Amino acid sequence: MKRTRDDMEIVWQTPANPPDRHDYILRDGIRYVRPYYFEFISHVKNRWANKTIVDLFTEEFKGRPRDYYVSAVKAGRIQVDGRMVPISYVVQPSQKISHFLHRHEPPVMAWDIEILHKEAEVLTVSKPASVPVHPCGQYRKNTVVGILQAEHGLAPLFPIHRLDRLVSGLLILARSASRADLFRQQIESGMVQKQYIARVDGVFPEDEQVVDANVNYNAREGMSTVEVGDDYINGNASAKGKSACTKFTRINTNGSHSIVLCEPITGRTHQIRVHLQCTGHPIANDMLYLSKSVTKRSSEGLGADRAAAKSNLSVDQSSHQNHKDEADNVSEEDFRIDPMCTNCPNLAPKGYDGHEEGLWLHCIKYTGPDWVYECPYPDWAFLG
């Protein structure tokens, strides 16, 4: 729908608006999304009830100042049940709240998404690190699904498994809901084997190692932990968290790093990463699980990996900032500046500069009852 405010024609987008090739700006090896207007919808939770609309947003959505929320309510960019309301309006449970926002997506690295196999009902690609698989959080267009639709016209796509944003490698996408259901049934019934490779710190043991240790994921801080005793290798799992088991086999080593085959039996959040940490050989560039002390994401307003990278930043700060400023500040030729937006004129939201190194963790193979899909090794897997 279109609305005119302050002589600006605004086109509000919804999830029904497909990504387009022209939505992206590629600059200095980074893929940005042109900011766009989007309706975020939520429903009033019981604990939000009886708060004013401005207090609710100020207390629950801390990324913007109170003055912005006052202006947004007055301008009709925040509405209740499809209606403009005064700033003193008191919300009630289950009411629909719409926030019409000038959305700035976080950038990702501009690596190509290589199509490996294209069949009538299945598509496999080599997912680059830093790109999320599907819309989540602040990402919508800067996703594997979004980019494949924009650049190759491939839709609909149904990812049948997930790779963390910083993980690269084989991604299997069904091209029909029925085929996706079949894949998921096979995965849930334990009929599918998964293989990854990782580049880890130190000389990994030559014999196969099995870590059977519960994984406890802290969603608030975005990281997992395990609690195990001295006999964690082939030993009993901790009583906390969810049961998890991973087999590790060393492929080769150069004395400083080792390439390890990782075969997760279960599929817990950050399972391979935290189980490798458990062996004393974490992924060699995994700041989140290498560090003894990591900046808490809750105090930084960032994802856990970004907070960890920030607290362990080793590049020259001044040159990094100068490069960031050059990449972020853009002219009105790139997109229309919104006078109410708290991110304009930068392309990226605050705290997201896009310069990320992918994890040295790569999915190489999925094997099912009557199918096998594979992905080539990345460059970092070949030790010099």
- The predicted-structure confidence for 19-77, as pLDDT tens digits, reads as follows 999 999 999 999 999 999 999 899 999 999 999 999 999 999 988 899 999 999 999 99
- The predicted-structure confidence for 296-324, as pLDDT tens digits, reads as follows 554 455 677 766 666 665 444 444 444 44
Q: In order of start, what are the domains of the chain with their CATH numbers?
A: 2-103 (3.10.290.10), 192-315+357-384 (3.30.2350.10)
Query: Taking all residues of the chain, what is their mean pLDDT, rounded to a whole number?
Result: 86
- The predicted-structure confidence for 32-46, as pLDDT tens digits, reads as follows 999 999 998 999 999
Q: Is the dihedral of CA 346, 326, 306, 374 positive or negative?
A: positive
Q: Residue 323: what pLDDT? A: 46
- Decide if 28 is catalytic: no
Which position among 7, 164, 181, 353 bears the catalytic label? 164
